[in-house]
Amino acid sequence: MNILTNRIEYSVGDASHQAYLAYDDEITEARPGVIIVHEWWGLNDYPVRRAHMLAELGYVALALDMFGGGRTADNPDQAGALMNGVLGDMDTGTAALRAGHELLLQQPGVDPARTAAIGYCFGGAMVLHMARIGMPLAAVASFHGALGSFHPPQPGEVRARVLVCHGAADSMVSMDDLDAFKTEMDAAGADYEVLLLDGAKHGFSNPEASVNAEKYGLDLAYDEAADRQSWSAMTDLFGRVF
């Protein structure tokens, strides 16, 4: 195994964005490509680490920059402003997701017929949006992601297999939100599954969640068991669709 990495500058409209690429250079055949969409903190070390983990599984991994310029946040106020800048202009946000997928398809070794996307918190909402608008993905996986819809899909519009990994103790994304998501997916005839993780709070997959909870007074917590279980569910899903 020889994991190579690269920062790639790409454009969304007139704005410059910076993605992070990771792949095993020793694999010669075409392989699936997987997009990672970051939390509200931006493209920091956490999605980069996930990109390496996906590369070690044999995928070409591309972590997107949804905020432009590689910007990251140092505190919740900055993070909220960056995130709301995207959520308040989802036409541009959608364009950024489509540009990221096109960039993935351009990478050497990516099989264009086998792509997926995973996302965390804000990024979970983004990959679910990709599924809702019918982007050509085999699967999407949301980890403690927001579940509200910017585009209620029509029957048959969701082409991807959908996995939602949700903490049962998440105070930021409620069980009512989860029920509304299920109703929406059922109406669309989507192929989806929900992994409900007992006792897990928002941010359960990120070891920095507990640090940020203490530092900023947020109801977050890392949960090692939920992290392992949700990652295993994702790898199982990829094994089925790829």
Task: Please report, for residues 54, 59, 90, 217, the alpha-carbon distance to residue 131 in angstroms, rounded to integers and kept in the order given.
Answer: 20, 20, 14, 33
In angstroms, the CA 143 to CA 162 distance is 11
Other residues' Cβ atoms within 10 Å of the Cβ of residue 98:
14
Length of the chain, please?
242
| pLDDT for residue 212 | 94
Considering the segment(s) 3-241 as one domain, its CATH architecture is 3-Layer(aba) Sandwich (3.40)
Q: Domain locations in the chain?
A: 3-241
| pLDDT for residue 40 | 97
Low-confidence stretches of the chain (pLDDT < 70) are: none
Residue 211, amino acid: V
Strand partners, 192: 162
Per DSSP, 125 falls in state H
Per DSSP, 202 falls in state B
Count helices and strands (H / E) in the chain: 7, 8
Q: Evaluate the CA torsion angle 79, 7, 91, 177 in order and state its sign.
A: negative
| pLDDT for residue 115 | 98
In angstroms, the CA 103 to CA 116 distance is 13
Q: Evaluate the CA torsion angle 24, 230, 224, 126 in order and state its sign.
A: positive
State the residue for tokens 């036409």: 91
Predicted model pTM: 0.96
| pLDDT for residue 155 | 96
The secondary structure element, H or E, covering residue 122 is helix 122-132
Token duo for residue 182: 């299920």
Dihedral (C-alpha) 137, 139, 141, 146: value to the nearest 10 degrees? 50
Q: Evaluate the CA torsion angle 172, 48, 72, 133 in order and state its sign.
A: negative
* Nearest of 25, 131, 10, 110 to residue 69 by alpha carbon: 10
In angstroms, the CA 75 to CA 217 distance is 11
